[in-house]
């Protein structure tokens, strides 16, 4: 028995073109899964990296700015067989709460939270109809537990991801579908570019991280493999921080 082996399983990872999504897609492929790399941007780099390492992957056009259309696409994919769904795609908008635009609120909630629900719903419907079970891994954040600064819609969406993870776990655990989440800390991605370019904020953040460094996308991959594998068969509704100790401080 190899509890972390994902051979023969098919996974869909949203936002897999770069950053955390790319790190998760590569890790799942290295564990043996065939990975459908989904998102609005081109997935060429991620698919090539996986193929170069001897893994199996394919791209899928998926615009999460239209969550209903994205869910229909995932429903089609799930109907052909899908074992793992990773809801990773996310965007962020920064402004003081008093100046935060309604359009920025709606766009972030649609991509980060509404799409995660609708894609999970599509995955769940297929899994329940076929009795196959499956794994859903949602990407939350340390801001699922904290307030943050100048990221109102992002913080609200990530709090929502935790609630959604627990709700779906309660409904589907007995039906063979494991729903869990990863809460990344400060990871070097395009979403955190503005913070990393602010020297004062960057250094203040590093000083607070017990591990003494920002995380890399690859740091999230192992957690995703664990939650997607048989090793986590009795794990339901959990939120696993991968944050260098940030929340422990």
Catalytic residue from among 154, 186, 202, 234: 154
How far, in Å, CA of 11 to CA of 208, rounded? Answer: 35
Contact by Cβ (8 Å): 81, 74: no
| Token reading at 179 | 């729903």
How far, in Å, CA of 11 to CA of 54, rounded? Answer: 16
| Token reading at 246 | 């940030």
Q: Residue 190: exposed, middle, or buried by beta-carbon count in 10 A (0-12, 13-18, 19+)?
A: exposed
How far, in Å, CA of 236 to CA of 166, rounded? Answer: 8
Our answer to whether residue 154 is catalytic in this structure is yes
How far, in Å, CA of 14 to CA of 43, rounded? Answer: 10
Place of tokens 């894609």: 119
How far, in Å, CA of 212 to CA of 226, rounded? Answer: 24
DSSP state at residue 111: I
Catalytic residue numbers, as ranges: 154
């Amino acid at each position: 028995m190899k509890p972390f082996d994902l051979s023969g399983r098919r996974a869909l990872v949203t936002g897999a073109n770069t950053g955390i999504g790319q790190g998760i897609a590569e890790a799942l492929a290295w564990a043996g899964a065939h990975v459908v790399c989904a998102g609005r941007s081109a997935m060429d780099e991620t698919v090539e990296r996986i193929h170069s390492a001897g893994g199996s992957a394919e791209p899928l056009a998926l615009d999460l700015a239209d969550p209903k259309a994205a869910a229909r696409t995932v429903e089609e994919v799930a109907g052909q067989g899908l074992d793992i769904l990773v809801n990773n795609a996310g965007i962020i908008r920064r402004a003081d709460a008093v100046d935060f635009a309604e359009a920025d609120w709606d766009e972030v909630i649609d991509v980060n939270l509404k799409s995660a629900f609708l894609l999970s719903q599509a995955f769940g419907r297929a899994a329940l109809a076929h009795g196959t079970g499956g794994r859903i891994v949602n990407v939350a954040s340390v801001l699922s537990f904290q307030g943050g600064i100048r990221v109102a819609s992002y913080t609200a969406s990530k709090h929502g991801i935790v609630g959604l993870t627990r709700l779906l776990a309660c409904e589907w655990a007995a039906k063979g579908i494991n729903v869990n989440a990863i809460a990344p800390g400060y990871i070097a991605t395009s979403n955190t570019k503005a913070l990393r370019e602010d020297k004062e904020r960057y250094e203040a953040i590093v000083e607070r991280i017990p591990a003494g460094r920002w995380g890399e996308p690859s740091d999230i991959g192992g957690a995703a493999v664990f939650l997607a594998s048989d090793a986590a068969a009795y794990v339901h509704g959990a939120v696993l921080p991968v944050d260098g100790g940030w929340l422990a401080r």
